Homo-oligomer: A and B are copies of this chain.
Amino acid sequence: MSDNLVITIGREHGSGGRYVGEKLAEKLGIKCYNSELVTETALKSGFSENFIADNEEKKPESLLFSIAMAYSVSGSQPVTMRLFNEQTKVIKELAQRESCIIIGRAADYILREHKNLLRVFLCAPLEDRISRICKTDKLSPNEAEKIIRKKDKQRAAFISFYSDRKWGLASNYDLCINTALFGIDGSVELLEKCAQSKMK
């Protein structure tokens, strides 16, 4: 089994996971996989990038809907489950191939047997996340809050469906950071220190 260092970053929506991941990757000289996972999964699975972006990190819809979907497309599994299985393969191959950072997608659970894993979770108070999403997505605070609540609910349901874990529970991670207190750069600095001690 490979001993590449894989850093998985779970995150509350709007807590800055993307920025922390990208900056940390640059500091460590490794790649950060976020939307790149959509492209990689599309290449390997035949699903379109649009379909993946709309359906990843979600649990299957209601059972009846899933069954209907399953038989309307080839194969016997709901398509979201087939998508999860394809993305699982991509994530496992990445971990075998290189040291890297993987944002979301239950990678901490998928790679639970990986030898050199740093499982990170980023969070921040709701008001800070609203403020970030307002800026990045050019939304009103009300719209931003709605999206944040919806995304967090989807991620929690996704994790709970595919694993026996509760999303955001400290005991499922190695390090959880409030990015509002430490800032994006402060969080990166903290993680860089932890990662360096594991890359030695």
Contacts and interface: CB of A to CB of B under 8 A. Distances in A.
Interface residues of A, number: 22
A170 interface: yes
A62 interface: no
A152 to B, nearest CB: 10
A171 B194 CA distance: 20
A12 B173 CA distance: 13
Interface string A38-82: 000000000000000000000000000000000000000000000
A175 B177 contact: yes
A190 interface: yes
A200 interface: no
A169 B121 CA distance: 11
A111 to B, nearest CB: 14
Nearest to A10: B170
B194 A193 contact: no
Interface of A: 12, 118-119, 121, 123, 168-171, 173-178, 181-182, 186, 190, 193-194, 197
Report, nearest first, the 10 A-B pairs whose CB atoms are least far apart: A176-B176, A170-B176, A174-B178, A123-B171, A170-B170, A174-B181, A121-B170, A168-B170, A123-B170, A168-B169
